[in-house]
Amino acid sequence: MMLKAEGVSKRFGGVEALRDVGIELRSGEVAALVGDNGAGKSTLVGILSGAIRPDRGRIWCNGREVHFHSPIDARHAGVETVYQTLALANHLDVAANLFLGREKYLLRLGPFSILNRAAMRREARELVARTGVRIPDIDLSVMNMSGGQRQGVAIARAAGWGSRVVLLDEPTAALGVQETARVLDIIKALKRQGITILMISHNLRQVFGLVDSIWVLRHGQMVGSRDVRATRPEEIVSMITGVDQATGDEFA
Ligand SMILES: Nc1ncnc2c1ncn2[C@@H]1O[C@H](COP(=O)(O)OP(=O)(O)OP(=O)(O)O)[C@@H](O)[C@H]1O
Ligand SMILES: [Mg+2]
């Protein structure tokens, strides 16, 4: 397994966001994480990405148990995340955003440091080309880009540093039809590169056209997972809602 979690629980005050949750992602697999609003999806992705500390639970990355104290720890283990609220620096250009926290220096002597802008721009260009992100101008500040382009920069950044796992929290939620298609193409390109992907989505049609497996959270518990070829949207909707779509009966 490329990424595995077991027995993950998390409380926020009186809210039990996750209870005894497990998940497994095979190497190179694209998986979806689905569930209603408040089901715990972002919390689980936050825990897998090191942004949120679980109360309980264990995580393994490529067979080794890991203890992430921050997203930087996760990044060192090859796990990158694109959050629901994009963390881009609006006033900076594409290259600067791609290198945020990983700046290259010509000279670094305490306060006297000189950024190696030429090297960063060259590598940024390569990275953007490799991930299939279409950006008109790499010198454009992110503020002046469309939602799809910004999402593209965020995904390129997540995918670009030899990462093995990319976690995406609703990458297309705020996008139009064309921009969504473009972001889905980027995700397919990452899959072809063998990157393991876990994507939160509310759009089952999108999920069924893209992923290998689907994991369903309901009220903070993992209801189960399905191979996409062995299930139907109706079954996934039943798992999400806890209501049998055929009979309308609620199950426990
Ligand atoms: N920082 C926090 N403080 C308090 N409660 C939180 C916090 N983060 C999440 N929660 C609560 O935990 C539960 C799960 O939230 P989470 O954001 O994981 O849901 P989600 O499945 O991502 O929902 P959505 O589809 O709306 O994004 C919710 O009841 C939410 O209100
Ligand atoms: Mg969420």
What are the tens digits of pLDDT across the range 29-84? 999 999 999 999 999 999 999 999 999 999 999 999 999 999 889 988 999 888 76
For residue 202, which atom of ligand 1 is closest to its CA? 25
DSSP state of 162: S
Q: Give the dihedral sign, CA 166/232/175/178.
A: positive
- Ligand 1 touching residue 240 (CB < 6 A): no
Check: CB of residue 140 under 8 Å from CB of residue 36: no
What are the tens digits of pLDDT across the range 110-165? 777 787 888 888 888 887 777 777 777 778 888 778 777 888 888 888 877 778 99
Any idea where the domains of the chain sit in the sequence?
3-89+162-241
Question: To which CATH superfamily is domain 3-89+162-241 assigned?
Answer: P-loop containing nucleotide triphosphate hydrolases (3.40.50.300)
Closest CA to ligand 1's atom 6: 12
Q: How far is CA 62 from the centre of its chain?
A: 17
For residue 44, which atom of ligand 1 is closest to its CA? 18
